[in-house]
Amino acid sequence: MELTKDLKMLYPFEGKFFDLGRHKMHYVDEGQGEVIVMVHGNPTWSFFYRNLIRSLSKHYRVIVPDHIGCGLSDKPQGYKYTLKQRIDDLGRLLAGLGVQNYSMIVHDWGGAIGLGHAVNCPEKLEKLVLLNTAAFRSQEIPLSISLCKNRFFGAFLVKYLNAFCFPATFMTTKQKLPALVKKGYLFPYDSARNRIAISEFVQDIPLSEEHRSYKTLKDIEAKLSLLTAKKLIIWGGKDFCFNKRFFDRWTKLYPQAQTFYFKNAGHYVLEDKPEESLAAINDFMRS
């Protein structure tokens, strides 16, 4: 997909593609120095991190992939869209780029994917930033997401009625997103075919032991204590999905973490609190 001229003003990066075999993963690789990896969730893409990329790439090498099926990556219809597959994809990308030690910033289900990779070699993770995310099991799921997850009509709602990507442009923030920013979030997901991964992301939320990704997430959860890297938690308190109970679980797990809890910010905390978040992350990475 080719970005429009107006979107290139917000997202001016020269994208690259990593060959995963049958499919290509799009990623941004900007700057030089110590590596910072940013991992997005659903239904976003590397566009979510655009302001962090601009700022941090002045002093670091910033690597930001689009998961297969997301953003500007290939969108295969028959792909194995599971948590394990996404962790494997991320690992192959970082290995292919020669990444050894790194810091990581994760958001939404990027937490399970990014930390799913990190717990396999915890000594390589230097610093960790958590943004309204999870990497552990939970039975909490909003009604709106539960409807999209329904095995009878959920895929139809998400793919054909755009009942996930479009609502996310106004349900995830307390401040109204500018029209061009909304366009950026929706750009890669302009058809039912291009929303295949969005639907599969929702279907891959593991709520029972029989679910295909339950064991993967359980294993990640069991290893989170192995991550001894310095941690920063930035949280939007008005998140309808990853609410304060998720924040409290992280602070209990990592009591030494530095925290910023913005009571009036939503799930897309980088959109509601851009300057504050950017300053906190810059200071943390320099510390």
Taking the domains of the chain in order of start, what are their residue ranges?
5-286
Quote the CATH superfamily of domain 5-286: Alpha/Beta hydrolase fold, catalytic domain (3.40.50.1820)
Tell me how far apart the alpha carbons of residues 281 and 91 are, in angstroms, rounded to a whole number. Answer: 24
| pLDDT tens sequence for the chain (287 residues) | 889 999 999 999 999 999 999 999 999 999 999 999 999 999 999 999 999 999 999 999 999 999 999 999 999 998 999 999 999 999 999 999 999 999 999 999 999 999 999 999 999 999 999 999 999 999 888 888 988 888 788 999 999 999 999 999 999 999 999 999 999 999 999 999 999 999 999 999 999 999 999 999 999 999 999 999 999 999 999 999 999 999 999 999 999 999 999 999 999 999 999 999 999 999 999 98
Q: Kindly report the pTM of this predicted structure.
A: 0.97
Q: Environment class of residue 76 by beta-carbon count within 10 Å: exposed (0-12), middle (13-18) or buried (19+)?
A: middle
Residues 6+ apart with CB under 8 A from 222: none
Where do the DSSP E strands lie in the chain? 16-19, 24-30, 35-39, 61-65, 102-108, 125-133, 230-236, 258-262
Cross-strand pairs, 114: none
